[in-house]
A and B are shown apart, each in its own frame.
Chain A
Amino acid sequence: MKRGLMALAGALAILMTQSAGAQTLRWSAPGDAVSFDPNAQLDSFTQNIQLMVYDTLVRRNRKLEIEPGLATSWQIVEPTRWRFKLRPGVKFHDGEPFTADDVVTTVMRTIDPDSRNKGNLATVVKAEKVDDLTVDIVLSGPYPLLLNDLTGIFVMSKSWLEKNNAMKPGNTSTGVTTFASTHANGTGPFKLESYAPDSKTVMTANEGWWDKPEHNIKRLEFRPIKSDATRVAALLSGEIDMISSLPLQDVPRVSGTQGFKVVEDPSLRLIFLGFNWKPELYADPGKKNPLLDVKVRQALWHAVDLDAIQKRIMRGKSRNTGTMVAPPVPGYVADIDKPLAYDPALSKKLLTEAGYPNGFKTGLTCTNDRYIADEQLCLAIAGMWTKAGIQVDVKTESKATYFPRQDRGELDVWMLGWATLPQMDGFSVLSGIFASRKDGYGGSNAGGMVIPALDDLARKTAVELDEGKRRALMGEAFRIAKDQALFIPLHQQPLAWAMRSNVDMPQFPDEYVRPWFAKVN
């Protein structure tokens, strides 16, 4: 009898701790998932949301290192053929087992000509089933970053796609929209229960997840709130437990309120200024472009008071940088990460040596709605350059109009933020920004910069399979960029989240929200 009572009490205690530990987390962010079809969009926040439902062959751990996910091991059979062993016993949310067929379907759906994110697997030719739990991925050439790419490829279920007639990816141009754009069936830590765009997305914990959950969340409610003031209000009023992206000006208010905390870290996104490399500047046609002279570029760099910007505009939350990638990214070299010092006298001297003792005229254009405090940043730099004797024609505009102009190379000095995502590797800077526009390289090298050494390094890095050598090649490229002052790196953007004190949501510099590491106490 007594034993029975004890057992009952014990069972009750377990039940109670379970119900106390089984929590709902309500969170908010300014954006929303635009679709649940992994192949119908390229929006990084959307992919973040999808990653809660879908697993990937390899995934990022708490330190953002790559670790086994749905694939348990892999080997390079030939330089162009990688063999992946798949995790046995994994089930999709609808109960169907996960097999090699699903991986083949996922890869083929991603590289489909109508897929919107086919560029994320640009080097993959096909996937082949070897047996039920072995898959080969075939590449067009040797390629070191396949695993990085695979961290962003969400594994879908073949049978589910077939059943719902969604084998072709959704695409605006072909007019295809599928069941998969509003529903999801992955193997991930959470199941999608409902999706009401701009209103509410509900997920529940996947009890049958193959991995041991580190979270204690039963139910995830995502409520997007676009307006910053409303989002903060919703947190403070207790309607929301956690918000990602807290506006900097609200940090003191929220952290000063009892029962809430703010988590802040520098993000991977690095803000820098780039130059026009054409023979003439738009601001001063008919004259030789002064920015082609390394001394002029260094003079501009020496004229920027980064510490003042960090203190005044970024409220002490940003991290000033001297190189083009953030420390966690492969390719980063610590000894070149010191910015050129703020030194107006040296700046003046360099300008005089370059033949511009009285300065020159240039444009400076930035967004006003894309990066944190981008407009203030731009105006502050314009002010500093004006003090250095340079005539600055400063303009800020919306991202929707800025990026097309920037892309067409219509700006003299421009601002860009680069996070190296989704690969999280310095190669994306080499291939997208450093290399000249040729053979698919230089997608964001809008200023028309051509540095043969960098072109060469980008191509070598692209096929170097030895990780040590590869990093050395990238380091060399970043060193050239620094020595030649090809760009002026400014800082890593701060990333601020706010949450109730009882919520423990780890923050990551890639700005992803990973609720499978979260605890609600």
Chain B
Amino acid sequence: MIASIGSRLGQAVLVMLAVTAIAFVMFRYVGDPVAMMSREDASPAEKAELRASLGLDRPAIVQYGDFLGRTLKGDLGISFRNQRPVVDLLAERLPATLELVIVATLLSLSVGIPIGVYCALKPDGALTRAIQTISLVGISMPTFVTGIGLILIFAVTLRWLPSFGRGDVVQIGGWSTGFLTRSGWASLILPSITLALYQLTLIMRLVRAEMIDVLSSDYIRFAKARGLPSRYINFRLALRNALMPVVTVTGLQIGSLIAFAIVTETVFQWPGMGLLFIQAVSFADVPVMAAYLLFVGFLFVVINMIVDLTYTLIDPRLRTRRA
């Protein structure tokens, strides 16, 4: 177990090195921070001075080495745009993104699983067909279209829910939470639906397919022959077995939800890390972009590791093979 964690961590470091190295090569094409930071009528000498003071006149490889050295010391640098430590900026934004992702995940599970089960149990029902069609639309609709559509209906026309922002937040230690206020919850509804929609349809389809598969297996047929109540068969026997792949997919999806919350956060002006990243890109704010990519790389590695470890815990066959 410890050896496997160790090798995982080794891989994690490699992945993050690769991500940041690629990022540093790409930064040169994102734009020039000096042009963004200078006055409109700055002289060439002023710009050259700024470039030198930021260390941007050095070759990319030297800048990358410098970045790695500082990162190892725990210093992610200072944002070009906000002139504040990147660590502070990320820490401020992390709660917003995490709360949104958690709610979106719970939403997609609590809605996706029952619908999936229903579709599997009544494969030919009219409602099932309708759900299938709608889910196809849901899975292929771009996030910003869904988001704007929800805003137009629920914020502009009906005026039930706020169209943007996080509402009132409460500070608990360094964590700002929207869970403790009414406006915080109201603000969460539209963005979390927008973010959850894709995952919801994915889970629904996965559960449906797995359920249909399990329901046609021998032990279910024997259980039916034995006269066990259908409720027991469907939920205790079939669903539990069908949920295994859902756990994996949900775990991996949490990572991508965090990484791809960018669009949702931009549409709803959700003050999370995705919004921070988008603004960093338009300003060519290298320290923020680098730190964000480093963080996302780290996150994916960690989530993958946790999923793998849970697997060995849940499935005895994997455990014996490792041992």
Contacts and interface: CB of A to CB of B under 8 A. Distances in A.
B177 to A, nearest CB: 14
Contacts of A238: 159
Interface in A236-277: 236-239
Nearest to B55: A173
B30 interface: yes
Interface stretch (A73-81, A99-107, A191-199): A191-199
A170 interface: yes
A239 B83 contact: no
Contacts of B121: none
Nearest to A175: B78
A42 B39 contact: yes
B275 A226 contact: yes
Interface string B258-283: 00000000111101000110110111
Interface string B5-48: 00000000000000000000000011110111111111111110
Interface stretch (B99-107, B161-169, B214-222): B161-169
Contacts, number: 161
A237 B156 contact: yes
Interface residues of A, number: 58
Contacts of A514: none
Interface residues of B, number: 58
Given A227-B266, A229-B148, A177 B78 contact: yes
Contact of B37 (A37, A116, A224, A444): A116
B196 interface: no
Given A198-B271, A229-B148, A233-B156, A37 B83 contact: yes
Contacts of B166: 199
A442 B43 CA distance: 7
A443 B155 contact: no
A223 B278 contact: no
Main secondary structure of the interface of A (DSSP, over half): loop
B151 interface: yes
B164 A42 contact: no
Interface in B154-205: 155-156, 159, 162-166
A441 interface: yes
List of 6 A-B pairs having minimum Cβ-Cβ separation, nearest first: A400-B31, A432-B41, A404-B32, A173-B53, A199-B271, A403-B35
Interface of A: 34-35, 37, 40-42, 116-117, 119-120, 170-173, 175, 177, 181-182, 196-200, 223-227, 229-231, 233-234, 236-239, 369, 398-401, 403-404, 407, 418-419, 421, 428, 431-433, 437, 440-444
15 contacts: A35-B82, A116-B83, A170-B83, A170-B84, A198-B276, A199-B269, A227-B144, A233-B148, A237-B155, A237-B159, A237-B162, A369-B282, A400-B31, A400-B283, A440-B45
Interface of B: 29-32, 34-47, 50, 53-55, 78-85, 89, 92, 144, 148, 151-152, 155-156, 159, 162-166, 266-269, 271, 275-276, 278-279, 281-284, 287
Given A233-B164, A400-B35, A404-B35, 7 more contacts: A182-B84, A226-B266, A233-B163, A237-B159, A239-B162, A440-B43, A443-B41
